Structure 1
Amino acid sequence: MSRDPYEVLGVAKTATADEIKKAYRKIVRTSHPDLNPDDPDAQSRFIEATEAHDLLKDPAQRARYDKGEIDASGAERAPERKFYRDYSGADGASRQGAGGFEDFDTASIFEEILRQRGRGGQSHDRGDWAFNAPGPDRRYQLELDFLEAAKGAQKRITLPDGQSLDVKIPTGTADGQTIRLRGKGGEGMGEGPNGDALVTLSVRPHKIFRREGNDIVLTLPITIDEAVLGGKVQTPTIDGPVSLTIPAGASSGQILRLRGRGVQPGGKKPRGDQRVELRIVTPPKIDDALKDFMESWRETHSHDPRKEMMS
């Protein structure tokens, strides 16, 4: 990537991390090659946006780019070349003292280079120096549906180079969780192992379910007669509809619990529950029969649910 990453994502240099993330997600939706198969330029835009996001989402990398220490591809910028004459006096003698350079021994410098090579994991092979180093980790973003995260799934992501990577989503995956895929990162140097792929997961909200810990929470509408008389009703769960018993005299805000109908976390932890919050909903149109009944009931019954609040 040669373009300014801020320009690629369409954000200002003062943009927050959330603004950068939102801008990247917007481009992914409009430029991901899997979502836009008829757009020949989608892949190049997706690759460019991914590289820009990878650079700017890392605070340290972003700071170095802003200071001009690295370029838009993340490569080190070449330092300004210095020549011996810049550090010597008019007579060619090396400067001494604070801020200057002492006379140096070229043999000692060469020995230090060899020591650095040894610490860097280099090995001696057939009389030549061979460099072995692990490959770099690669970071990716993947959006999931709520149920895919809760129940587990198999997903495929398209990498910036056009290749595909299969990702197994475990049950009970949480928003912001990162999955490590061993050996799926950058290629190692020499005999060094490949790096890892680090896939950070983002879970989209569900229209009726929400998650609290390992519990699934749901607000369930019920009718007036179901609240007064009780009965069995169908309620959604992440595994499909089940029958739920509404107790007679139920109130809005009352919580009923379905044991073991929540999220199954990893390891040996028990599965969560589903908490169902009841909400009484009146009919969209009050007919004469219901109106007459309620007026008659009001005349013969006195019930003030706000009485204790006023005392």
Structure 2
Amino acid sequence: MADPYKTLGVARDANEADIKKAYRKLAKELHPDRNKDNPKASEKFSQVTNAYDLLNDKDKRARFDRGEIDGDGNPAAPFGFGGGGGGRPQPGGGFRSEGYESGGPDMSDIFEGLFGGAQRGGGGGFASGFGRRPQPKGENVAYRLQVPFVDAATLEPQRVTLSDGKTLDLKLPAGVESGTQMKLAGKGEQGPGGAGDAILTIDVQPHRFFTRDGDDVRIDLPISLAEAVLGGSIKAPTVEKPVMLTIPKGTTSGKTLRLKGKGFHKKTGGRGDQLVTLMIDIPADNKALADFVEGWAKSNTGNPRGAMGV
């Protein structure tokens, strides 16, 4: 009967971290996918996994250390009796299991008291009731995915390269933002119970002139003095493509116009807007403009700050 401590190569007082570390090392070396032409490795992998299952379970480990179960998790012989039902004494004081004969002693109470209950099996034997735990999956793998601002706003699919070199196209969710996490099932490390998951954390990259405001996109858009005074149609950028924007006559700096449905996709459906704040761009060192404004100012004595009391 295999000793799980020897199978994993750990001391009997090894802690959980030591046991896990030893198992992961051996599991990687002996995994069937890496040893397709070596059946002995596959057998050893199974032994290593069984040993880890037992030692990773605090209750089973304690029972094994007390001698109540063997290295396979099966009940050990109580009071020197062999497993199973009644039998005839054999040399060395053991019993040879033959099943229960008619009128023979019923040892079910002993088994129930020792092992927390037993189920009668076929042919008068007893099943221990110890079930195998599910095989542990491999570790999850964490990734950080940098997504361009415009791609996040338009939900442009992203190509992701995993640690094994494989690539896949990732569909971004509506409402994606920095800190959003996405799980790719089965794309983590391999384990005896299957692969773990890949956990992607999204980082939306800043843009050189767009900013985000909830589900809306903001932009400060420069316009010329002539466009502000006379009005007209100008081309404005959006996260998808430029659109024509109408500037009212006499527009002042700071006026904000709204482009419906040009923002981020919302979790609840639909899209936010793009908010365009107009900023009048005054050219420096333009003598003609300076002369014009100087003459214009002489005939215009109004105070734009008068309503503020200054």
The question of a shared fold, defined as TM-score above 0.5 by the shorter chain, is answered with yes
Secondary structure of residue in 1 paired with 2:171: strand
Equivalence for 1:273: 273
Equivalence for 1:309: 308
Q: Sort the Cα spacing of 1:293 and 1:111 in 2 relative to 1 into closer, same or farther, 3 A.
A: same
Contact 2:63–2:69 (8 Å) recurs in 1: no
Q: What letter is aligned with 1:245?
A: T
Q: Sort the Cα spacing of 1:295 and 1:108 in 2 relative to 1 into closer, same or farther, 3 A.
A: same
For 1:112 and 1:299, locate their aligned partners in 2 and report how far apart those are by CA, in whole Å: 104
Structure 1 position 143, deviation (Å): 0.9
The one-character-per-residue Cα deviations of 1:138-174 (angstroms, maximum 9, x if unpaired) are: 1111111111111123333333343434422235421
Structure 1 position 221, deviation (Å): 0.4
Q: Sort the Cα spacing of 1:106 and 1:265 in 2 relative to 1 into closer, same or farther, 3 A.
A: closer
Structure 1 position 273, deviation (Å): 0.5
Higher radius of gyration, 1 or 2: 2
Secondary structure of residue in 2 paired with 1:269: coil
Equivalence for 1:211: 212
Aligned counterpart in structure 2 of residue 110 of structure 1, from 47, 68, 71? 68
Contact 1:152–1:172 (8 Å) recurs in 2: no
The one-character-per-residue Cα deviations of 1:118-145 (angstroms, maximum 9, x if unpaired) are: xxxxxx9xx9968522332211111111
Give the TM-score taking structure 1 as reference length: 0.56
Structure 1 position 296, deviation (Å): 1.7
For 1:105 and 1:203, locate their aligned partners in 2 and report how far apart those are by CA, in whole Å: 52
Deviating more after overlay: 161-170 vs 278-287: 161-170
Give the TM-score taking structure 2 as reference length: 0.56
Alignment pair present for 1:187 and 2:145 = no
Alignment pair present for 1:232 and 2:233 = yes
Q: Sort the Cα spacing of 1:199 and 1:237 in 2 relative to 1 into closer, same or farther, 3 A.
A: same
Structure 1 position 233, deviation (Å): 1.0
Contact 2:152–2:264 (8 Å) recurs in 1: no
For 2:63 and 2:174, locate their aligned partners in 1 and report how far apart those are by CA, in whole Å: 62
Equivalence for 1:199: 200
Query: Counterparts in 2 of 1:135-150, with a 5 A limit?
Result: 135-150=138-153
Contact 1:151–1:170 (8 Å) recurs in 2: no
Contact 1:224–1:281 (8 Å) recurs in 2: yes
Q: Sort the Cα spacing of 1:252 and 1:105 in 2 relative to 1 into closer, same or farther, 3 A.
A: closer
Secondary structure of residue in 2 paired with 1:226: helix
Flag structure 2 segments of 5+ consecutive residues without an equivalent.
1-15, 23-61, 75-126
Secondary structure of residue in 2 paired with 1:297: helix
State the identity as a percent: 38
Structure 1 position 70, deviation (Å): 6.7
Contact 2:147–2:205 (8 Å) recurs in 1: yes
Structure 1 position 269, deviation (Å): 2.3
Flag structure 1 segments of 5+ consecutive residues without an equivalent.
1-68, 77-103, 116-123
Structure 1 position 215, deviation (Å): 0.3
Alignment pair present for 1:286 and 2:286 = yes
For 1:169 and 1:106, locate their aligned partners in 2 and report how far apart those are by CA, in whole Å: 49
Q: Sort the Cα spacing of 1:281 and 1:154 in 2 relative to 1 into closer, same or farther, 3 A.
A: same
Aligned counterpart in structure 1 of residue 163 of structure 2, from 160, 163, 172? 160
Structure 1 position 295, deviation (Å): 1.6
Secondary structure of residue in 2 paired with 1:110: coil
Aligned pair count? 201
Aligned-pair RMSD on alpha carbons?
A: 3.4
Structure 1 position 107, deviation (Å): 7.6
Structure 1 position 307, deviation (Å): 2.4
Contact 1:185–1:195 (8 Å) recurs in 2: yes
For 1:256 and 1:172, locate their aligned partners in 2 and report how far apart those are by CA, in whole Å: 23
Aligned counterpart in structure 1 of residue 154 of structure 2, from 146, 151, 155? 151
Q: Sort the Cα spacing of 1:159 and 1:230 in 2 relative to 1 into closer, same or farther, 3 A.
A: same
